[in-house]
């Protein structure tokens, strides 16, 4: 469309219902161009339908699957909705293999690298070792903590029915990470490094919630 200088009508925003309706009625004077355009459009529709099927199954597993308890508990955290929580549960597997929060932070590569020479010890950039996808999820979620702490809307719905111990961790995370974000910015730290630091502490709160889930499982097993 750009190649042929075709633009949507004034007032029609891209990927809205009106924009899609306009696309469905768009025609080209040459049949080959029309065929290529329709193939592109149908491929997009097929991809959207495929994503919708995946998301439906992910939601089902988040509610009734084997990993449902940890997925639902992680969603108590700001910035961690169904897709992120499910992805973390799938990537990490069992959180119980990490005895401390720092071990989990290290696994996702969010701890600073260290350089030692004699009695001198210095820290450098994060290691970026371990699970790359989990690290990316945490960094993306960390951006949510630049907003003022609050529990409302979707976050409030996600927290309904969860143990008080889990929601308490979530509230503590909101306050601590929000303050950390602005405190580091005030010190002149680059935004990228600030978010990495927030993501590292977020990993600690995720580990803490996972421990609560494991503890609850143990209690139920005893009963």
Other CB atoms within a 10 A radius of the CB of residue 198 amount to 27
pLDDT at position 202 is 97
Give Cα 22 distance to the centre of its chain: 33
Other CB atoms within a 10 A radius of the CB of residue 183 amount to 12
Quote the tokens at residue 40.
Answer: 């592109």
Give Cα 20 distance to the centre of its chain: 28
What DSSP string describes 70-108? HHHHHTTSTT--HHHHHHHHHHH--GGG-SSHHHHHHHT
Other CB atoms within a 10 A radius of the CB of residue 160 amount to 8
Q: Which DSSP letter does residue 188 get?
A: T
- The candidate with the shortest Cα–Cα distance to 78, out of 209, 187, 192, 215, is 209
Distance CA 89, CA 164 (A): 21
In tens digits, what is the pLDDT along the chain, a chain of 223 residues?
888 999 999 999 999 999 999 999 999 999 999 999 999 999 999 999 999 999 999 999 899 988 999 999 999 999 999 999 999 999 998 898 999 999 999 999 988 755 454 554 445 456 667 789 999 999 999 999 999 999 999 999 999 999 999 999 999 999 999 999 999 999 999 999 999 999 999 999 999 999 999 887 777 766 6
């Amino acid at each position: 469309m750009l190649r042929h200088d075709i633009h949507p009508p004034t007032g029609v925003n891209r990927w809205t219902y009106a924009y899609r309706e306009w696309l469905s009625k768009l025609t080209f004077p040459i049949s080959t161009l029309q065929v290529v355009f329709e193939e592109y459009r149908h491929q997009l529709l097929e991809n959207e339908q495929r994503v919708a099927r995946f998301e439906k199954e992910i939601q089902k597993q988040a509610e009734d699957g084997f990993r449902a308890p940890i997925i639902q508990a992680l969603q108590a955290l700001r910035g961690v909705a169904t897709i992120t929580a499910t992805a973390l549960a799938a990537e990490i597997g069992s959180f119980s293999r990490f005895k401390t929060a720092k071990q989990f932070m290290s696994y996702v590569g969010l701890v600073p690298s260290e350089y030692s020479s004699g009695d001198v010890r210095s820290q450098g950039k994060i290691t970026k070792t371990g699970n790359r996808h989990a690290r990316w999820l945490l960094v993306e979620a960390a951006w949510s903590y630049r907003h003022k702490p609050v529990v409302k809307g979707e976050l409030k719905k996600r927290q309904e029915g969860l143990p008080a111990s889990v929601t308490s961790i979530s509230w503590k995370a909101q306050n601590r990470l929000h303050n950390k974000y602005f405190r580091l910015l005030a010190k002149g730290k680059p935004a990228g490094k600030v978010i990495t630091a927030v993501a590292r502490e977020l990993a600690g709160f995720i580990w803490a919630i996972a421990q609560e889930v494991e503890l609850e499982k143990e209690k139920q097993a005893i009963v």
